[in-house]
């Protein structure tokens, strides 16, 4: 179970340099166990009640326990989500915990290897997306509420292609394909957005991770009422005639 819970978090953790929980290879890349956290925090004060005493003052040390290969206290402990949420909501600059060489590497402090070598604008995209994830009404934030972080949707490549291939694949992987989602629709069948005349369209046609979602149907059928998670507040249930 812990593997399933934490698997999605790998890139975010690495991207923000908080902890490498994704796989043991990263654990072996640790080079420092001191520093980053203690720049801002007195660790004894920010650790939760009952947390074992730690001597280290850096993130890498945390992965000793907060690693997907471990079991026990970290099993139901979305370490990545909690840390990223708190820091992003507090407007903490990425660079506090991360080392970034534009176009070359983006590394978690305390680890040798980073994730995708984010170029300038890619870094901006990730930063904006992270902030959105931490505190918007969009789908990313809704997913955060369920402890879902970047790689759960994006896979290891944070920047998707224009088709959002990996993202759409992940949508289907967790939520099922159009047919399955359509089956759960409670409104009138002809207004079922997952069984439309447009055929097998991509999830991301309507469902946006980092901006407001909107049913594509509305571009032509402006009179439809089509509530959508992460969309503008929906006034009513779908109606027909």
Partner 1 sequence: MVKRRDLLKLAAMSVVAGPAPAFAAMARNGKADVVVIGSGGAGFSAAITAHDLDAKVIVFEKMPIIGGNTQIASGGMNAAGTRYQEAAGVKDTWKLMYDDTMKGGYNRGIPALVEVFAKNSAASLDWLVSLGADLSTVGRTGGASVDRSHGPKDGGPVGPQIIGALRNSIAKRKIDVRTRSDVTHILMNVKGAVNGVLVKDYFGHTYEIEAKSVILASGGFSANLTMVTKYHPEYAGFATTNQPGATGEGITLAQELGAQLRDMDKIQIHPTLAAGTNILVTEAMRGAGAIMVNREGKRFINELSTRDVASAAILKQTGKSAFLIFDDGLRKQMALIEGYFHLGFVKEGQNPAELAKTSGIDATALAETIASYNKYKAAKSDPDFKRADMPRSIEPPKFYSIEVQPGIHYTMGGVLLNATAQAVGRNGTPIPALFAAGEVTGGVHGANRLGGNSTSETITFGRIAGSGAAAYAKKS
Residue ranges that bind partner 1, judged by CB under 8 A? 103, 116-122, 125, 159-164, 188, 190-191, 197-202, 204-205, 216, 219-223, 240-241
Phi, psi of 14 (to 5 degrees): -70, -40
| Residue number, 32 or 181, with CB nearest to partner 1 | 181
In angstroms, give the least distance from the CB of 105 to partner 1: 11
In angstroms, give the least distance from the CB of 119 to partner 1: 4
In angstroms, give the least distance from the CB of 136 to partner 1: 18
In angstroms, give the least distance from the CB of 203 to partner 1: 10
| Residue number, 34 or 122, with CB nearest to partner 1 | 122
| Residue number, 31 or 103, with CB nearest to partner 1 | 103
| Residue number, 92 or 185, with CB nearest to partner 1 | 185
| Residue number, 82 or 128, with CB nearest to partner 1 | 128
- For residue 105, the surrounding DSSP H or E stretch is strand 105-108
Considering Cα of 75, then 79, then 82, then 88, what sign does the dihedral take? negative
Q: How many residues does this entry show for the chain? A: 241
| Residue number, 92 or 165, with CB nearest to partner 1 | 165
Residue 115 tokens read as 């994730």
In angstroms, give the least distance from the CB of 100 to partner 1: 12
Contacts of 197 (CB under 8 A, 6+ apart): none
Contacts of 93 (CB under 8 A, 6+ apart): none
State the first-to-last Cα distance of the chain, in angstroms, to the nearest integer. Answer: 47
| Residue number, 4 or 189, with CB nearest to partner 1 | 189
Q: Which of 209, 109, 78 is nearest to 154 (CA)?
A: 209
Residues 138, 213: contact at Cβ < 8 Å? yes
In angstroms, give the least distance from the CB of 36 to partner 1: 25
In angstroms, give the least distance from the CB of 157 to partner 1: 10
Q: Which of 68, 157, 170, 177 is nearest to 115 (CA)?
A: 157
Q: Which of 37, 3, 40 is nearest to 19 (CA)?
A: 37
Residue given tokens 């640790």 in the structure block: 30
For residue 160, CA distances in Å to 30, 125, 130, 154, 209 come to 28, 11, 15, 7, 12
């Amino acid at each position: 179970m812990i593997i399933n819970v934490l698997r999605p978090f790998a890139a975010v953790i690495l991207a923000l340099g908080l902890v490498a929980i994704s796989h043991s290879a990263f654990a072996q890349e640790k080079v420092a166990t001191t520093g980053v956290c203690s720049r801002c925090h007195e660790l004894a004060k920010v650790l939760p009640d009952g947390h074992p005493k730690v001597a280290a003052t850096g993130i890498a040390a945390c992965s000793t326990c907060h690693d997907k290969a471990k079991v026990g206290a970290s099993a139901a402990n979305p370490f990545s989500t909690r840390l990223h949420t708190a820091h992003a909501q507090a407007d903490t600059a990425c660079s506090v915990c991360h080392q970034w060489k534009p176009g070359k590497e983006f590394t978690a402090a305390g680890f040798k290897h980073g994730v995708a070598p984010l170029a300038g604008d890619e870094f901006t995209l990730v930063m904006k997306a992270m902030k959105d994830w931490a505190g918007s009404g969009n789908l990313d934030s809704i997913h955060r509420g369920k402890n879902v972080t970047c790689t759960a949707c994006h896979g290891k490549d944070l920047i998707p292609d224009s088709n959002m291939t990996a993202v759409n694949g992940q949508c289907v992987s967790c939520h099922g394909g159009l047919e399955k989602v359509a089956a759960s629709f409670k409104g009138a069948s002809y207004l079922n957005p997952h069984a439309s005349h447009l055929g097998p369209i991509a999830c991301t046609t309507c469902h946006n991770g980092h901006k407001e979602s909107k049913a594509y149907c509305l571009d032509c059928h402006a009179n439809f009422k089509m509530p959508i998670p992460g969309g503008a507040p929906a006034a009513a249930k779908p109606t027909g005639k």
